[in-house]
Structure 1
Amino acid sequence: MPRLPVLLTPLLLTSALAAPAPKLQHVFVFVLENHSLSTVLGNPNLPTLNRLATTYGYAANYTGVTHPSLPNYVAMIAGDTMGTAGDDPGQRFAGDNLALQLEKAGLSWRGYMQGLPTTASTADYAGAYGKKHNPFMLSSDIVNSPQRVQNVVPYEQFGADLSSGSVPNFAFLVPDVCHDMHGALNCLGRAALDRAGDTFIGTWTQKIMASPIWKSGAAIVITFDEGGGGDKVGGGGRVATIVLTPDGPRGKVSRVPYNHSSLLRTIQEGFGLPLLRGAKTATAMNDLFWK
């Protein structure tokens, strides 16, 4: 696949800002791990991701906000790293975040974590699961609420919820380290890890799009927490981010600079929620959600 230019022009920025905010009903955000854009596009071990990038909407200038993993996950729901740094799963942050906002608005959310031992588990690590990839269990406002922690569930629950039509308005879907393409615990070799992550995404995007929930107002976002190696563009490196919608653009490449706060802003505006922290100044990704 040819390398795509990433230069921003006033026309591109005007187009992004002019696009209307999508009215969202269901959003599914998949988060993969530690791959810079250059290691995804054209990678023969990632046929699904490459096909989705060329078929639907693709952000060519999307970056993580920092290194390493944990603060990026926090930023996805809080619009800021909230003082977190490093991957210590014992960290906590307090304050409003997307989950609390959805709750206040009478909307539903759920974090589906592959490898999570049990619903509401506070484990730092368990097999191929790591809490550093679970921002909800890093939020003191969620961890300290017996009701809210019931929304943090093992990934297996997602299949059941999808089959029963009981998926939440916002689903945050995190594969374990054997399926997120990062590679840990010596699960698989490099190429096999990529293929496992690609297959994971292919399986679950197909299931979502085959369900009755896949209609106007639904969206799937596939992104990465941060770039790999020494990639520090935008703070966290340039990563592949793909947006799938049933009635949105096809074959769309956006070269507008986006990051995790941009995604948060898009989701907040789509659900009619107030903007938090970095989302207030970020550019919404409406050109990838809306024709």
Structure 2
Amino acid sequence: MKPVLTALALAVGLSAQAATSSPVPFDHVFLIVLENTSYAQAIGNPNLPTLNALARTYGLATTYTGVAHPSLPNYVAMISGSTFGSVSDDPTQRFAGDTLPLQLERAGLDWKGYFQGLPSTGWDGGAAGAYGKKHNPFMLSAEIAGSPARRAKVVSLDPLQGDLTSGHVPAFSLIVPDVCHDLHGAVTCPPGRTLQRAGDRFVKTWTDAILASPAWTGRSAIVITFDEGSDDAGGGGTVATVVVTTSGPRGVKSRVPYNHYSLLRTLEDAWGLPPLRQAAQATPMTDLFGP
């Protein structure tokens, strides 16, 4: 009987140790944010073959929600842990306080934002062509927008391929398509089916480039999510969220209720950063990223 008890005690001890050990830091995280598409509109959609293939192969959160309507407060929530009460897409809004980029800086880690259609580095205008500042949380942050050094890290999509080819990418990269490639669309974009295919091509282009990059090493992840869905679940609607990792789970569907605060909490935990605001109460997405 003693050997059985000893083995059981060892197993319990190892489980407790695993539960209390710190998560392994990420080498690189690439967050791609698409627009205004509910889970049921994305998963199983034949016009989104790349997104669905990644969802089947890697990890898929099936009950992940945005935290607000409309778009802008969801982007702000992803990096700050709060919507700050915003219920508007007004690009003149400015939000003060700590954010994930500032946390990373203090930890000696780098960050960068790649925004398709951004007219120039650190541009602070509201909209230009198919680019909208409402989808750029970095330029909505008072501490980033007010700092020339930080604004230099808010660039157009153009440098991304070169950064990936060289392997010189930051710990955290936020990648945001313009309104003609984010599945939402605008009056100036081609209609319906073309928009979905354009969005899926965007996902394919950049996930392929990331997976082929020297930066895809160690513990790295690509997260593809949407700002909000068409229903009101969780405050912002149920959306598909796909997690692609270098060595994490494969073929996993998680039914755990997650949201944008859960994603922020997951990144902060892994990098040893204190969770910001509502991220402190959120459940980390360990089953999709791995420990």
Deviation by residue 1:251-278 (Cα, 9 ceiling, x = unmatched): 0010000000000000111111111011
Give me the whole-angstrom Cα distance separating, in 2, the residues matched to 1:48 and 1:277.
34
1:19 Cα deviation after fit: 9.8
Whether the 8 Å contact between 1:57 and 1:252 is mirrored in structure 2 is yes
Stretch moving more, 153-162 or 32-41: 153-162
Map 1:185-200 to 2 at 5 A: 185-200=187-202
Gaps of 5+ in 2: 1-17
Gaps of 5+ in 1: 1-16
Whether the 8 Å contact between 1:75 and 1:261 is mirrored in structure 2 is yes
The percentage of counterpart residues that share the same residue type is 61
Whether the 8 Å contact between 1:73 and 1:134 is mirrored in structure 2 is yes
Correspondent of 2:144 among 130, 133, 142? 142
Whether the 8 Å contact between 2:183 and 2:199 is mirrored in structure 1 is yes
1:186 Cα deviation after fit: 3.1
Give me the whole-angstrom Cα distance separating, in 1, the residues matched to 2:252 and 2:275.
26
Q: Which protein has the larger Cα radius of gyration, Structure 1 or Structure 2? A: 2
Correspondent of 1:166 among 160, 168, 171? 168
Whether the 8 Å contact between 2:144 and 2:150 is mirrored in structure 1 is yes
Secondary structure of the residue aligned to 1:61 is strand
- Provide the residue aligned with 1:274 in structure 2: 274
Correspondent of 1:90 among 72, 85, 92? 92
Give me the whole-angstrom Cα distance separating, in 1, the residues matched to 2:246 and 2:171.
16
Whether the 8 Å contact between 1:66 and 1:226 is mirrored in structure 2 is yes
Whether the 8 Å contact between 1:142 and 1:149 is mirrored in structure 2 is yes
- Provide the residue aligned with 2:49 in structure 1: 47
Stretch moving more, 30-39 or 204-213: 204-213
Secondary structure of the residue aligned to 1:58 is strand
Give me the whole-angstrom Cα distance separating, in 2, the residues matched to 1:22 and 1:222.
21
Q: Kindly tell me: are residues 27 and 182 of structure 1, through their superposed partners in 2, closer, same or farther at Cα, counting changes over 3 Å?
A: same
Give me the whole-angstrom Cα distance separating, in 2, the residues matched to 1:72 and 1:31.
10
Map 1:62-141 to 2 at 5 A: 62-141=64-143
Give me the whole-angstrom Cα distance separating, in 2, the residues matched to 1:261 and 1:172.
16
- Provide the residue aligned with 2:33 in structure 1: 31
- Provide the residue aligned with 1:246 in structure 2: 246
1:189 Cα deviation after fit: 1.2
- Provide the residue aligned with 1:260 in structure 2: 260
Give me the whole-angstrom Cα distance separating, in 1, the residues matched to 2:82 and 2:205.
31
Whether the 8 Å contact between 2:268 and 2:275 is mirrored in structure 1 is yes
Whether the 8 Å contact between 1:22 and 1:286 is mirrored in structure 2 is no
Residue 180 of structure 1 aligns with an amino acid whose one-letter code is D
Residue 286 of structure 2 aligns with an amino acid whose one-letter code is N
Give me the whole-angstrom Cα distance separating, in 2, the residues matched to 1:186 and 1:60.
32
Give me the whole-angstrom Cα distance separating, in 2, the residues matched to 1:135 and 1:88.
12
Residue 236 of structure 2 aligns with an amino acid whose one-letter code is G
Deviation by residue 1:43-85 (Cα, 9 ceiling, x = unmatched): 1100111111110000011000010000000000000102322
Give me the whole-angstrom Cα distance separating, in 1, the residues matched to 2:128 and 2:76.
20
- Provide the residue aligned with 1:210 in structure 2: 212
1:282 Cα deviation after fit: 0.2
Secondary structure of the residue aligned to 2:148 is coil
Correspondent of 1:183 among 185, 188, 192? 185
- TM, length-normalised to structure 2: 0.91
Give me the whole-angstrom Cα distance separating, in 1, the residues matched to 2:209 and 2:173.
14
1:218 Cα deviation after fit: 0.6
Over aligned residues, Cα RMSD in angstroms?
A: 1.4
- Provide the residue aligned with 1:13 in structure 2: none
Aligned residues: 273
Whether the 8 Å contact between 1:25 and 1:271 is mirrored in structure 2 is no
Secondary structure of the residue aligned to 2:239 is coil
1:213 Cα deviation after fit: 1.2
- TM, length-normalised to structure 1: 0.91
Give me the whole-angstrom Cα distance separating, in 2, the residues matched to 1:167 and 1:185.
34
Whether the 8 Å contact between 2:181 and 2:198 is mirrored in structure 1 is yes
1:22 Cα deviation after fit: 4.0
